Structure 1
């Protein structure tokens, strides 16, 4: 069944678009979709991103307080439009190795394991995808659709709702992307085309993350075009410092690149169920801050800043660190170390946590916290708090506005000096050299980062860096992509539909 839609204007023949599928996860599908959204927006086209189902704990909160995959929120920004739940109707948020929380049209509905989801959610998922596509067709003329993982997962293809099923429903052509950085690019392309359903819908190939002299790959292009009978639409050079938030934890490694020999040492605990790691990406704009991920307590050392980031399973991750004797390591920290707790990481810093019904992933009547925020107790409930928030922060003698969003099930009670003042109350704590908050995006404000880092710079006799105006990251990356692909041919492919 094809996607039926009402035309936007009289005489219109419906929406156009393209689907970006990949030979594997992390080949750059999200980034290419982001670039395509900005390129089309630059041409005055009403374009929207779409991904039927996302699996990530790094979510984006819409203006209506609903959750979608962060990649589609970023792509909507690139398309210069407002993100909605129709752009990502199904979001899976892993709570353990076996179970995921299902967010349907922005709201949590239940938690299921993989077998139950596959057996019982398929028809509901198809209906949600159809409804979302129908809704988008009433506002936009073009879609840039992102696939998931690989379309050649033969064990899953009979009930998949993320790749060729979506291309068929939306009736759009497919461009297949391969990552040359990881090696095996020829086998990955040829093998994917051999195993994927409906390979005739693939109309072109893209080679991503190329390093070196493109002339050395000319024979490779000739081979691919001869063997697959498909055009290689472009070879996109690797661009590491694009400044665009990554979709999931596969992008975590990008955070620590090019951070050697910087005088301020920021250590970030890499939880097994890490979420919303993009809270730390703004520190990449600080030329004197080195961000490093810590997977073992013994690697913490004596950092200037120790960060407890967000987590999808707070108690499970807390136990992971306690088993490594994190409490002893905290006691051995020098007095100069600042501690930051964000969302679930903030909850770990309290005296106690309770999740008797298992809403956080583990049924625990009482779990002792790290005790860094005295009197703080967190209780997990069925209702998730999801809201965009704006308030005022007083830090280092400065008052400034702050914007962000909260996503958490744990309700925390604590006293002490509040970090953020809202119209309807306060949130977070700041005590001594510790700050904690549930607000994601807190450090997205340059003023906030400067206020937080100023005392550290003073103690280390570091001059305040000159912060250059940051170029539009979406336009910069889009220009990079467009310069290395045959965009006219991409346009022709989109106009031909599927």
Structure 2
């Protein structure tokens, strides 16, 4: 039997659609149903790899994790990765499909891709009891509705009951709810089965008159109010969720002699910064003080400087030089620690060649801190990967033979100069586990002070992250870490806490009834008082 469908729509971007979709996936899974997430089109520089070696939006990978299933390319058949103000790389079913302007994509190509969306959805629907769909932005963008491929058209395709989410933390939530519904066509309005208010911080008694009045105006029930949930430790869809990334502070640190101080980690925040969730686990460590830096002076007195992934490697390298980072980095490399991830590693090399104009045609000189050259290629490498460090050392300090894991998403092919030492030996998930399938990754130079790797998600592995922090502190003769964070367990706890809070806040009996499924209220759960 084809799966039932619920769609999570929002009054705007960043109202909490992604996390609420994850919460519903977890709740349905906890109730014993086969459930999967689906977002037909996502726009984000934050992506993830599937076990088949394909690329999807990171939000859908998180939602799959919440549903306790592996991520699949069917969950996000179209991914738009912005390359500038007016164009994006279009990834279709996990592979590069083209580089298009916004107008060309929206006006000419959307209809061409609708069969792909339908096929992906039907693949999921055939294997599951219920699909939780996520919309994008607002369904009431009247200038874009003719070629909609992600909101009401998809709701109709899936015959989905829709839940409209408004964010009260942004202000104007009642106007946003009312305006969104009124701008929809009558048949689309009929699909909105109810609404919720998200990110509430105040007194529910003061909110109740408003929810009653707006429910009367909309002729739609309020299914509940979800409180603002702090310290959730689950990745955001995009960098709007990271206020620290936009910090313009002139300086973050001052000289400090204490051996008990926090380890200072500076992550350079490019205009095309990609996969910013690489650093969530590091940010959560109690022994770390991590900041995203947009000014060269902000990396002063940092212990570790990380050059992260970039969607536009050469453009961001040009930006880095224009902002004065190059001189600071070369000085830091003489005595401090530098890590380059993906595009960051490519920048640390000697040259980036782009003969086919994949990003920026021609040859660009890198920072010269790693003995490597990178050539941009049309084929993107996308893979889940595991392996081991080559040397058994990190920043010159011996470490145990620990496992590392992560995922590759890059178009560059890196070659090593004669003096190069590799960082790790890896095996891709889609390959066999035979040693003959292993390959070298990354590079180590400057007497172990500078490291490069293609692995995103490297710090999510608890054992490696703990070893990394211990080695960095030992390098600076700082006192050993007393308390390490268990990031993997915290993610599980965060997903469970999110699901529990949403269950307590919403009328889950009503939501389950939309798809004709039984809901068994958890014994420990106490629903909040009705607001309508």
Pair 263,138 (structure 1): closer, same or farther in 2 beyond 3 Å: same
Which residue in 1 is equivalent to 2:208? 218
1:414 equivalenced with 2:410 (yes/no): no
Which residue in 1 is equivalent to 2:521? none
Pair 476,249 (structure 1): closer, same or farther in 2 beyond 3 Å: same
1:399 equivalenced with 2:401 (yes/no): yes
Q: Distance in 2 between matches of 1:357 and 1:455?
A: 40
- SS at 1:271 equivalent: coil
8 Å Cα contact 1:17/1:495 also seen in 2:
no
Alignment of 1:305-384 (within 5 A): 305-333=304-332, 337-360=336-359, 362-363=360-361, 365-373=362-370, 375-384=371-380
Q: Distance in 2 between matches of 1:213 and 1:482?
A: 19
8 Å Cα contact 2:239/2:245 also seen in 1:
no
Matching residue within 79, 82, 101 for 1:94: 82
8 Å Cα contact 1:49/1:75 also seen in 2:
yes
Matching residue within 192, 197, 200 for 1:207: 197
8 Å Cα contact 2:281/2:459 also seen in 1:
yes
Structure 1 portions without partners, runs of 5+? 1-6, 8-13
Which residue in 2 is equivalent to 1:286? 285
Q: Distance in 2 between matches of 1:477 and 1:318?
A: 39
Q: Distance in 1 between matches of 2:333 and 2:80?
A: 40
8 Å Cα contact 1:302/1:333 also seen in 2:
no
Q: Distance in 2 between matches of 1:240 and 1:262?
A: 26
8 Å Cα contact 1:243/1:473 also seen in 2:
yes
1:167 equivalenced with 2:171 (yes/no): no
Following superposition, the deviation at residue 154 of structure 1 comes to 0.9
Q: Distance in 1 between matches of 2:171 and 2:263?
A: 35
Q: Distance in 1 between matches of 2:327 and 2:484?
A: 38
Q: Distance in 2 between matches of 1:334 and 1:114?
A: 40
8 Å Cα contact 1:256/1:291 also seen in 2:
no
Alignment of 1:441-480 (within 5 A): 441-458=457-474, 459-467=477-485, 470=490, 471-480=492-501
- SS at 1:399 equivalent: coil
Q: Distance in 2 between matches of 1:220 and 1:337?
A: 56
Which residue in 2 is equivalent to 1:492? 513
Which residue in 2 is equivalent to 1:123? 111
Following superposition, the deviation at residue 226 of structure 1 comes to 2.0
Q: How large is the RMSD of aligned CA atoms in angstroms?
A: 2.1
8 Å Cα contact 2:470/2:481 also seen in 1:
no
Deviates more, 1:193-202 or 1:168-177: 193-202
Deviates more, 1:394-403 or 1:147-156: 394-403
- For residues 244-280 of structure 1, give each alpha carbon's deviation from its aligned partner in whole angstroms, at most 9, with x where no partner exists: 22222222337899x9997222111111111111111
Following superposition, the deviation at residue 348 of structure 1 comes to 0.8
Deviates more, 1:70-79 or 1:457-466: 457-466
8 Å Cα contact 1:240/1:254 also seen in 2:
no
Deviates more, 1:431-440 or 1:248-257: 248-257
Pair 280,256 (structure 1): closer, same or farther in 2 beyond 3 Å: farther
Q: Distance in 1 between matches of 2:335 and 2:261?
A: 17
Q: TM-score, normalised by structure 2?
A: 0.86
Structure 2 portions without partners, runs of 5+? 254-259, 427-434, 518-532
- SS at 1:245 equivalent: coil
Pair 253,229 (structure 1): closer, same or farther in 2 beyond 3 Å: same
Following superposition, the deviation at residue 466 of structure 1 comes to 4.7
- For residues 190-234 of structure 1, give each alpha carbon's deviation from its aligned partner in whole angstroms, at most 9, with x where no partner exists: 111121342221111111111132222122212221221211111
Q: TM-score, normalised by structure 1?
A: 0.92
Which residue in 1 is equivalent to 2:431? none
